A and B are shown apart, each in its own frame.
Chain A
Amino acid sequence: MLAEQDPVVIQLFNEFDRVVMPNKKVDQAEAESLIAYIKRESDKGPARAVPRLPASVAPADRELGRVQSMALAVFALVSIIIITVFGFVGKSTDKPRVVDMKSAYRLRRILFISGSAALLSLLAITLPVTPYVVNAEPKAEIIYTTARQFSFTYSREPVTSLEELRFVEGLRVLEVSADALVEFRVTSLDTNHGFAVYDPNGAIVAQTQAMPGYFNRLRIHFDKPGFYAVLCLEYCGVAHHVMRSGIIVR
Chain B
Amino acid sequence: MLNTNEREWDEQYMELARRNTLTWIAVTFILFPILVLAGVFMRFVQGNTLGSAREWFYPMMTLHGMGMVGVAYVGGMACVEQVIAKYTRPSDRVSFFAIIGTVIGVVLLLVSVLIGKFAAGWYFLYPLPLKGNWPTWSAVVFLLSVTVLGATWLIWCLDLLRAIAREYTISKALGWHYLAGKTEPEVPPAIIITTVSLIGAVACLLSGVIVLALFYVELLTGTANDALLMKNLTFFFGHVLVNISLYLGVAVIYDVIPQYCGRPWKANKIVAISWNSVLAIVLFAYFHHLYMDFVQPTTFHYIGQIASYMSSLPAAVVTIFGALTLVFHSKMKWNMASMFLFISMVGWAIGGVAAVIDSTIAVNLRFHNTLWVPAHFHTYMLEGLVLMILGFYYHYLQEQSQRAENHTLQRMITGLIVVGGYGFVLMFYLAGASGVPRRFATYPAEVGHGVPYSLVAIGFVALFSVGLALYISEAGKCWLKAARS
Contacts and interface: CB of A to CB of B under 8 A. Distances in A.
Interface of A: 17-23, 55-59, 62, 64-65, 67-69, 71-72, 74-75, 78-79, 82-83, 85-86, 89-90, 92-93, 95-99, 101, 104, 108, 111-112, 115-116, 119, 122-123, 126-127, 129-134, 149, 190-192, 194, 196, 198, 202-209, 211-218, 229, 231, 233-238, 240-242, 244
14 contacts: A22-B131, A68-B433, A75-B354, A79-B350, A131-B365, A191-B125, A192-B227, A196-B369, A198-B446, A203-B366, A207-B366, A209-B292, A212-B127, A213-B228
Interface string B202-233: 00000000000000000000000011100100
Contact of B328 (A59, A92, A236): A92
B67 to A, nearest CB: 17
Contacts of A236: 128
A115 B354 CA distance: 16
A126 B439 contact: no
Interface of B: 52, 54-55, 58, 119, 121, 125, 127-128, 131-133, 226-228, 231, 261, 292-295, 298, 301-302, 305-306, 309-310, 312-313, 316-317, 321, 324-325, 327-332, 334, 342-343, 345-346, 349-350, 353-354, 357, 360-363, 365-370, 429, 433-435, 437, 439-449
A89 B328 contact: yes
A111 B433 contact: no
Given A17-B442, A190-B127, A86 B434 contact: no
B228 A214 contact: yes
Contacts of A192: 125, 128, 227, 231
A229 B327 contact: no
B362 A231 contact: no
Contacts of B445: 55-58
Taking each of B306, B365, B435, B441, which has the highest tally of chain A beta carbons within 10 Å of its own beta carbon? B435
Contacts of A208: 292-294
A233 B440 CA distance: 9
A55 B446 CA distance: 10
Contacts of B321: 108, 111
Given A108-B325, A133-B294, A211-B227, 9 more contacts: A79-B353, A90-B327, A92-B328, A93-B329, A97-B329, A126-B362, A191-B131, A192-B227, A240-B440
A127 B131 contact: no
A205 to B, nearest CB: 8
Contacts of B58: 235, 237-238, 240
A216 B435 contact: no
B127 A132 contact: no
Contacts of B302: 127
A204 B367 CA distance: 8
B366 A119 contact: no
Contact of B293 (A86, A108, A126, A216): A216
Contacts of B305: 123, 126-127
B332 A207 contact: no
Given A86-B342, A119-B309, A217 B349 contact: no
A74 B350 CA distance: 12
A18 B444 contact: no
B334 A93 contact: yes
A244 B446 contact: yes
